[in-house]
Protein backbone atom coordinates (compact mmCIF):
# COMPACT_ATOMS: atom_id res chain seq x y z
CA UNK A 1 0.00 0.00 0.00
CA UNK A 2 2.78 2.32 1.06
CA UNK A 3 4.83 1.54 -1.97
CA UNK A 4 1.78 2.21 -4.08
CA UNK A 5 1.29 5.58 -2.39
CA UNK A 6 4.98 6.41 -2.85
CA UNK A 7 4.92 5.57 -6.51
CA UNK A 8 1.71 7.57 -6.95
CA UNK A 9 3.30 10.62 -5.34
CA UNK A 10 6.44 10.09 -7.37
CA UNK A 11 4.27 10.04 -10.45
CA UNK A 12 2.45 13.21 -9.50
CA UNK A 13 5.60 15.06 -8.42
CA UNK A 14 8.43 13.83 -10.60
CA UNK A 15 6.55 12.92 -13.77
CA UNK A 16 4.22 15.84 -13.55
CA UNK A 17 6.97 18.40 -13.19
CA UNK A 18 8.94 16.68 -15.93
CA UNK A 19 6.05 16.95 -18.33
CA UNK A 20 5.58 20.60 -17.39
CA UNK A 21 9.20 21.22 -18.17
CA UNK A 22 8.89 19.40 -21.51
CA UNK A 23 5.80 21.41 -22.29
CA UNK A 24 7.63 24.56 -21.43
CA UNK A 25 10.58 23.60 -23.60
CA UNK A 26 8.29 22.82 -26.52
CA UNK A 27 6.27 26.00 -26.18
CA UNK A 28 9.38 28.15 -25.93
CA UNK A 29 10.53 26.74 -29.23
CA UNK A 30 7.51 28.35 -30.89
CA UNK A 31 8.44 31.71 -32.28
CA UNK A 32 5.69 33.96 -31.02
CA UNK A 33 6.36 37.27 -29.28
CA UNK A 34 6.78 37.07 -25.45
CA UNK A 35 3.86 38.25 -23.35
CA UNK A 36 3.81 39.40 -19.67
CA UNK A 37 2.32 36.02 -18.80
CA UNK A 38 5.28 34.23 -20.36
CA UNK A 39 7.63 36.30 -18.22
CA UNK A 40 5.71 35.44 -15.06
CA UNK A 41 5.64 31.75 -15.91
CA UNK A 42 9.35 31.84 -16.52
CA UNK A 43 9.94 33.50 -13.11
CA UNK A 44 7.80 30.91 -11.29
CA UNK A 45 9.50 28.05 -13.09
CA UNK A 46 12.96 29.34 -12.17
CA UNK A 47 11.95 29.86 -8.54
CA UNK A 48 10.71 26.25 -8.37
CA UNK A 49 13.89 24.88 -9.82
CA UNK A 50 16.42 27.15 -8.08
CA UNK A 51 14.76 28.56 -4.97
CA UNK A 52 18.15 29.38 -3.43
CA UNK A 53 18.67 31.99 -6.14
CA UNK A 54 15.69 33.95 -4.84
CA UNK A 55 16.28 34.08 -1.10
CA UNK A 56 18.95 35.84 0.93
CA UNK A 57 21.09 33.15 2.52
CA UNK A 58 22.81 33.77 5.87
CA UNK A 59 26.31 32.35 6.25
CA UNK A 60 25.97 32.79 10.01
CA UNK A 61 23.26 30.10 9.90
CA UNK A 62 25.35 27.86 7.67
CA UNK A 63 22.92 28.41 4.78
CA UNK A 64 24.88 26.75 1.99
CA UNK A 65 22.36 24.94 -0.17
CA UNK A 66 23.37 21.67 -1.77
CA UNK A 67 22.31 21.97 -5.40
CA UNK A 68 24.09 19.15 -7.27
CA UNK A 69 21.31 16.62 -8.06
CA UNK A 70 23.79 13.77 -8.43
CA UNK A 71 25.13 14.34 -4.91
CA UNK A 72 21.60 14.68 -3.51
CA UNK A 73 20.57 11.41 -5.17
CA UNK A 74 23.68 9.59 -3.92
CA UNK A 75 22.98 10.71 -0.35
CA UNK A 76 19.48 9.24 -0.57
CA UNK A 77 20.75 6.03 -2.16
CA UNK A 78 23.47 5.47 0.43
CA UNK A 79 21.11 6.18 3.32
CA UNK A 80 19.11 3.02 2.67
CA UNK A 81 15.77 4.70 3.36
CA UNK A 82 12.92 2.20 3.61
CA UNK A 83 9.31 3.02 2.61
CA UNK A 84 8.10 2.72 6.22
CA UNK A 85 10.85 4.94 7.69
CA UNK A 86 10.48 8.20 9.55
CA UNK A 87 13.47 10.34 8.65
CA UNK A 88 14.75 13.23 10.76
CA UNK A 89 16.28 16.04 8.72
CA UNK A 90 18.16 18.80 10.53
CA UNK A 91 18.20 22.08 8.59
CA UNK A 92 16.05 21.28 5.51
CA UNK A 93 16.63 24.77 4.10
CA UNK A 94 14.81 25.18 0.78
CA UNK A 95 14.00 21.48 0.62
CA UNK A 96 16.26 19.97 -2.05
CA UNK A 97 16.99 16.97 0.15
CA UNK A 98 13.56 16.99 1.83
CA UNK A 99 11.69 16.39 -1.43
CA UNK A 100 13.87 13.40 -2.23
CA UNK A 101 13.42 12.05 1.31
CA UNK A 102 9.65 12.41 0.99
CA UNK A 103 9.76 10.33 -2.17
CA UNK A 104 11.60 7.54 -0.38
CA UNK A 105 10.22 7.50 3.18
CA UNK A 106 6.90 7.30 4.95
CA UNK A 107 7.44 10.51 6.92
CA UNK A 108 9.97 13.30 7.28
CA UNK A 109 10.40 15.37 10.43
CA UNK A 110 12.44 18.47 9.63
CA UNK A 111 13.92 20.80 12.24
CA UNK A 112 14.67 24.24 10.82
CA UNK A 113 15.55 27.40 12.75
CA UNK A 114 14.76 29.94 10.01
CA UNK A 115 11.06 30.84 9.64
CA UNK A 116 11.54 32.00 6.03
CA UNK A 117 12.89 28.58 5.10
CA UNK A 118 9.99 26.89 6.88
CA UNK A 119 7.42 28.93 4.93
CA UNK A 120 9.22 28.25 1.68
CA UNK A 121 9.54 24.55 2.45
CA UNK A 122 5.82 24.18 3.25
CA UNK A 123 4.88 25.78 -0.08
CA UNK A 124 7.35 23.76 -2.10
CA UNK A 125 6.37 20.48 -0.48
CA UNK A 126 2.65 21.24 -0.98
CA UNK A 127 3.29 21.86 -4.69
CA UNK A 128 4.51 18.27 -4.86
CA UNK A 129 1.57 16.92 -2.85
CA UNK A 130 3.71 15.66 0.04
CA UNK A 131 2.43 18.01 2.77
CA UNK A 132 0.69 15.25 4.78
CA UNK A 133 3.94 13.40 5.33
CA UNK A 134 6.09 16.31 6.43
CA UNK A 135 6.28 17.73 9.95
CA UNK A 136 8.38 20.84 10.37
CA UNK A 137 9.62 21.93 13.79
CA UNK A 138 10.71 25.56 13.58
CA UNK A 139 13.30 25.53 16.38
CA UNK A 140 16.98 25.29 17.16
CA UNK A 141 17.86 21.60 16.66
CA UNK A 142 20.13 21.71 19.71
CA UNK A 143 17.35 22.95 21.97
CA UNK A 144 14.46 20.81 20.84
CA UNK A 145 13.57 17.28 21.82
CA UNK A 146 13.52 15.02 18.77
CA UNK A 147 10.52 12.74 18.22
CA UNK A 148 11.07 9.06 17.38
CA UNK A 149 12.83 8.49 14.06
CA UNK A 150 14.49 5.63 12.18
CA UNK A 151 17.16 7.53 10.28
CA UNK A 152 18.77 10.94 10.15
CA UNK A 153 19.64 12.32 6.72
CA UNK A 154 20.88 15.89 6.69
CA UNK A 155 23.13 18.55 5.29
CA UNK A 156 23.63 20.19 8.68
CA UNK A 157 24.89 23.68 9.51
CA UNK A 158 28.58 22.98 10.18
CA UNK A 159 28.66 25.29 13.21
CA UNK A 160 26.64 22.81 15.28
CA UNK A 161 28.38 19.59 14.16
CA UNK A 162 29.94 18.56 17.50
CA UNK A 163 26.96 19.10 19.81
CA UNK A 164 24.58 17.67 17.22
CA UNK A 165 26.58 14.47 16.74
CA UNK A 166 26.85 14.16 20.55
CA UNK A 167 23.10 14.73 20.88
CA UNK A 168 22.34 12.02 18.33
CA UNK A 169 24.75 9.30 19.47
CA UNK A 170 24.21 9.84 23.20
CA UNK A 171 20.51 10.74 22.92
CA UNK A 172 17.61 8.63 24.08
CA UNK A 173 16.27 7.86 20.57
CA UNK A 174 17.32 4.54 19.09
CA UNK A 175 17.93 4.87 15.33
CA UNK A 176 19.52 2.87 12.49
CA UNK A 177 21.88 5.44 11.09
CA UNK A 178 22.66 9.09 10.50
CA UNK A 179 23.85 10.13 7.04
CA UNK A 180 25.43 13.52 7.57
CA UNK A 181 27.06 15.99 5.23
CA UNK A 182 29.85 17.53 7.28
CA UNK A 183 32.85 19.78 6.89
CA UNK A 184 35.60 17.54 5.47
CA UNK A 185 38.02 18.10 8.39
CA UNK A 186 35.31 17.31 10.93
CA UNK A 187 34.41 14.12 9.05
CA UNK A 188 38.10 13.12 9.02
CA UNK A 189 38.21 13.52 12.80
CA UNK A 190 35.16 11.31 13.24
CA UNK A 191 36.75 8.68 11.02
CA UNK A 192 40.22 8.84 12.60
CA UNK A 193 41.79 5.87 14.38
CA UNK A 194 44.34 5.77 17.23
CA UNK A 195 47.68 7.01 15.93
CA UNK A 196 46.15 9.21 13.18
CA UNK A 197 46.96 12.90 13.57
CA UNK A 198 43.23 13.80 13.56
CA UNK A 199 42.37 11.30 16.30
CA UNK A 200 40.92 13.18 19.26
CA UNK A 201 38.37 13.08 22.03
CA UNK A 202 35.44 13.46 19.63
CA UNK A 203 36.44 10.27 17.78
CA UNK A 204 37.01 8.41 21.07
CA UNK A 205 33.60 9.39 22.43
CA UNK A 206 31.70 8.68 19.24
CA UNK A 207 33.47 5.35 18.66
CA UNK A 208 32.44 4.17 22.13
CA UNK A 209 28.82 4.00 21.01
CA UNK A 210 28.81 4.10 17.18
CA UNK A 211 30.63 3.10 14.01
CA UNK A 212 31.40 5.73 11.40
CA UNK A 213 31.61 4.97 7.68
CA UNK A 214 33.00 7.26 4.99
CA UNK A 215 30.64 7.69 2.03
CA UNK A 216 32.04 10.38 -0.29
CA UNK A 217 33.69 13.76 -0.58
CA UNK A 218 31.61 16.67 -1.86
CA UNK A 219 33.12 19.66 -3.60
CA UNK A 220 32.44 23.19 -2.37
CA UNK A 221 31.24 23.94 -5.92
CA UNK A 222 28.18 21.77 -5.30
CA UNK A 223 26.73 24.39 -2.93
CA UNK A 224 25.10 27.81 -3.33
CA UNK A 225 26.67 30.01 -2.10
CA UNK A 226 30.01 28.27 -2.44
CA UNK A 227 31.49 27.75 1.06
CA UNK A 228 35.20 28.10 1.87
CA UNK A 229 35.56 24.45 2.86
CA UNK A 230 35.04 21.08 1.20
CA UNK A 231 32.62 18.56 2.65
CA UNK A 232 32.24 14.82 3.16
CA UNK A 233 29.33 12.52 3.74
CA UNK A 234 29.57 9.94 6.53
CA UNK A 235 27.11 7.47 8.04
CA UNK A 236 27.09 7.08 11.81
CA UNK A 237 25.55 3.82 12.99
CA UNK A 238 24.85 3.28 16.69
CA UNK A 239 26.41 0.05 17.98
CA UNK A 240 24.17 -2.76 19.14
CA UNK A 241 26.52 -3.46 22.07
CA UNK A 242 27.88 -0.57 24.10
CA UNK A 243 30.64 -1.18 26.72
CA UNK A 244 29.38 -1.40 30.26
CA UNK A 245 30.86 1.83 31.57
CA UNK A 246 29.55 4.75 33.57
CA UNK A 247 29.23 7.43 30.89
CA UNK A 248 29.80 10.41 33.17
CA UNK A 249 32.98 8.76 34.39
CA UNK A 250 34.04 7.99 30.81
CA UNK A 251 33.42 11.54 29.53
CA UNK A 252 35.29 13.08 32.45
CA UNK A 253 38.15 10.57 32.06
CA UNK A 254 38.55 11.25 28.32
CA UNK A 255 38.46 15.01 29.03
CA UNK A 256 41.39 14.56 31.44
CA UNK A 257 43.37 12.28 29.12
CA UNK A 258 42.82 14.26 25.90
CA UNK A 259 43.44 17.74 27.37
CA UNK A 260 46.90 17.39 25.83
CA UNK A 261 46.43 14.33 23.65
CA UNK A 262 50.09 14.00 22.64
CA UNK A 263 51.52 14.23 26.16
CA UNK A 264 52.32 10.96 27.90
CA UNK A 265 49.75 9.92 30.48
CA UNK A 266 52.52 10.03 33.11
CA UNK A 267 53.13 13.73 32.35
CA UNK A 268 49.40 14.53 32.28
CA UNK A 269 48.65 12.86 35.59
CA UNK A 270 51.66 14.31 37.40
CA UNK A 271 50.35 17.87 37.03
CA UNK A 272 49.67 19.28 40.49
CA UNK A 273 46.27 20.73 39.57
CA UNK A 274 45.10 17.43 38.05
CA UNK A 275 46.19 15.51 41.16
CA UNK A 276 44.38 17.95 43.48
CA UNK A 277 41.22 17.88 41.34
CA UNK A 278 41.15 14.09 41.23
CA UNK A 279 41.81 13.90 44.97
CA UNK A 280 38.85 16.23 45.67
CA UNK A 281 36.55 14.38 43.25
CA UNK A 282 37.53 10.94 44.52
CA UNK A 283 36.92 12.00 48.15
CA UNK A 284 33.48 13.51 47.39
CA UNK A 285 30.81 10.97 48.25
CA UNK A 286 28.59 10.40 45.25
CA UNK A 287 25.11 11.47 46.21
CA UNK A 288 23.34 9.28 43.67
CA UNK A 289 25.50 6.20 44.00
CA UNK A 290 26.84 6.68 40.53
CA UNK A 291 25.36 8.28 37.54
CA UNK A 292 23.07 8.33 34.57
CA UNK A 293 23.58 5.25 32.51
CA UNK A 294 25.55 2.02 32.26
CA UNK A 295 26.14 2.45 35.90
CA UNK A 296 27.71 -0.76 37.00
CA UNK A 297 31.24 0.58 37.27
CA UNK A 298 30.79 3.53 39.53
CA UNK A 299 29.25 2.20 42.68
CA UNK A 300 30.28 4.15 45.75
CA UNK A 301 28.99 1.52 48.11
CA UNK A 302 31.77 -0.90 47.33
CA UNK A 303 34.55 1.29 46.12
CA UNK A 304 37.69 1.92 48.07
CA UNK A 305 37.61 5.67 48.41
CA UNK A 306 40.70 7.81 48.17
CA UNK A 307 40.62 8.24 51.96
CA UNK A 308 40.20 4.81 53.35
CA UNK A 309 41.48 2.29 50.88
CA UNK A 310 44.88 0.74 51.44
CA UNK A 311 47.07 0.62 54.47
CA UNK A 312 49.35 3.65 54.32
CA UNK A 313 52.91 2.59 53.86
CA UNK A 314 55.13 3.95 56.65
CA UNK A 315 57.19 6.08 54.25
CA UNK A 316 53.96 7.90 53.34
CA UNK A 317 53.01 8.81 56.90
CA UNK A 318 54.57 12.25 56.77
CA UNK A 319 53.68 12.94 53.17
CA UNK A 320 50.88 15.38 52.34
CA UNK A 321 47.71 13.72 51.13
CA UNK A 322 48.23 15.07 47.60
CA UNK A 323 51.67 13.46 47.34
CA UNK A 324 50.27 10.11 48.50
CA UNK A 325 47.47 10.39 45.99
CA UNK A 326 49.87 11.29 43.19
CA UNK A 327 51.93 8.21 44.03
CA UNK A 328 48.80 6.13 43.85
CA UNK A 329 47.90 7.53 40.41
CA UNK A 330 51.35 6.76 39.07
CA UNK A 331 51.11 3.30 40.61
CA UNK A 332 47.93 2.65 38.63
CA UNK A 333 49.51 3.90 35.39
CA UNK A 334 52.54 1.68 35.94
CA UNK A 335 50.50 -1.38 36.83
CA UNK A 336 48.85 -1.26 33.40
CA UNK A 337 51.99 -0.15 31.53
CA UNK A 338 50.39 3.23 30.69
CA UNK A 339 52.84 5.79 32.10
CA UNK A 340 54.72 6.35 28.83
CA UNK A 341 51.72 5.93 26.54
CA UNK A 342 49.99 8.81 24.76
CA UNK A 343 46.17 8.93 24.72
CA UNK A 344 46.13 9.72 20.99
CA UNK A 345 47.57 6.26 20.34
CA UNK A 346 45.31 4.22 22.62
CA UNK A 347 42.31 2.19 21.50
CA UNK A 348 39.01 2.47 23.34
CA UNK A 349 39.61 -1.00 24.84
CA UNK A 350 42.89 0.23 26.35
CA UNK A 351 41.30 3.43 27.63
CA UNK A 352 38.41 1.46 29.17
CA UNK A 353 40.93 -0.83 30.86
CA UNK A 354 42.85 2.14 32.30
CA UNK A 355 39.64 3.72 33.59
CA UNK A 356 38.64 0.51 35.30
CA UNK A 357 42.09 0.29 36.95
CA UNK A 358 41.67 3.84 38.26
CA UNK A 359 38.16 3.17 39.54
CA UNK A 360 39.24 -0.08 41.24
CA UNK A 361 41.89 1.97 43.05
CA UNK A 362 39.21 4.44 44.21
CA UNK A 363 40.26 7.17 41.76
CA UNK A 364 37.32 8.84 40.06
CA UNK A 365 36.95 11.51 37.38
CA UNK A 366 33.33 12.68 37.36
CA UNK A 367 32.68 15.57 39.67
CA UNK A 368 29.34 14.79 41.32
CA UNK A 369 28.90 18.40 42.35
CA UNK A 370 28.52 19.37 38.67
CA UNK A 371 25.62 18.28 36.44
CA UNK A 372 25.86 15.19 34.29
CA UNK A 373 27.01 15.87 30.73
CA UNK A 374 24.06 13.83 29.56
CA UNK A 375 21.62 16.20 31.29
CA UNK A 376 22.84 19.26 29.51
CA UNK A 377 23.28 19.71 25.80
CA UNK A 378 25.66 22.64 26.25
CA UNK A 379 27.88 20.32 28.22
CA UNK A 380 27.41 17.58 25.68
CA UNK A 381 29.16 19.95 23.28
CA UNK A 382 32.14 19.59 25.58
CA UNK A 383 32.36 15.89 24.72
CA UNK A 384 34.51 16.88 21.84
CA UNK A 385 36.35 19.86 23.27
Q: Using CB under 6 A, list all residues that contact ligand SAM.
A: 61-66, 90-93, 96-97, 111-114, 117, 140-142, 155, 157, 160
Task: Give the CB-nearest residue to ligand SAM.
Answer: 91
Closest separation between CB of residue 64 and ligand SAM, Å?
A: 5
Output 96 or 232, the one with its CB closest to ligand SAM: 96
Select from 120, 98, 101, 133 the least CA-distant residue to 48: 120
Closest separation between CB of residue 104 and ligand SAM, Å?
A: 15
Distances (CA, A) of 259 to 105, 253, 264, 267: 42, 10, 11, 12
Q: Is 309 annotated as a binding residue?
A: no
Closest separation between CB of residue 141 and ligand SAM, Å?
A: 3
Closest separation between CB of residue 328 and ligand SAM, Å?
A: 44
Output 5 or 143, the one with its CB closest to ligand SAM: 143
* Cβ pair 212, 161 in contact under 8 A: no
Q: Is 122 annotated as a binding residue?
A: no
Closest separation between CB of residue 357 and ligand SAM, Å?
A: 40
- Backbone φ and ψ of 59, nearest 5°: -65, -30
Whole-angstrom distance, CA of residue 247 vs CA of residue 162? 17
Residue 69: how many other CB atoms lie within 10 Å: 11
Q: In this structure, what is the dihedral angle of CA atoms 140, 145, 147, 152, given to the nearest 10 degrees?
A: 50
Closest separation between CB of residue 112 and ligand SAM, Å?
A: 5
First to last CA, the chain: 48
Whole-angstrom distance, CA of residue 330 vs CA of residue 336? 10
Closest separation between CB of residue 109 and ligand SAM, Å?
A: 12
The pairing of beta strand 231-238 with beta strand 210-218: antiparallel
Select from 357, 312, 360 the least CA-distant residue to 334: 357
Output 94 or 297, the one with its CB closest to ligand SAM: 94
Output 114 or 150, the one with its CB closest to ligand SAM: 114
Q: Is 112 annotated as a binding residue?
A: yes
Output 155 or 291, the one with its CB closest to ligand SAM: 155
Output 231 or 246, the one with its CB closest to ligand SAM: 231
Output 91 or 362, the one with its CB closest to ligand SAM: 91
Distances (CA, A) of 174 to 102, 136, 150, 170: 21, 21, 8, 10
Q: Is 64 annotated as a binding residue?
A: yes
Farthest-apart Cα atoms in the chain, separation: 105
Q: H or E stretch including 123? A: helix 115-127
Length of the chain: 385
Whole-angstrom distance, CA of residue 36 vs CA of residue 221? 34
Tell me the binding residues.
64, 66, 91, 112, 140, 155
Tell me the binding residues for S-adenosyl-L-methionine.
64, 66, 91, 112, 140, 155
Amino acid sequence: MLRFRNSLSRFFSGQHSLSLRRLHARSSRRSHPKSDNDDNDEKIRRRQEKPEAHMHLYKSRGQHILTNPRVLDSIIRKSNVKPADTVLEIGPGTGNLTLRLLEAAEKVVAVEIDKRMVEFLHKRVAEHGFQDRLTVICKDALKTEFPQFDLVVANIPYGISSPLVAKLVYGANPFRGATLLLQKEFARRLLANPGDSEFNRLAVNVKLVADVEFVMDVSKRDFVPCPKVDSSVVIIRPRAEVPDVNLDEWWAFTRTCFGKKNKTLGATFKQKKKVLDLLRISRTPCSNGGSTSNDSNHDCSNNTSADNDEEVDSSEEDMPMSAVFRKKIIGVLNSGGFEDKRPSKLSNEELLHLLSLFNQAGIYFHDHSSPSDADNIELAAALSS
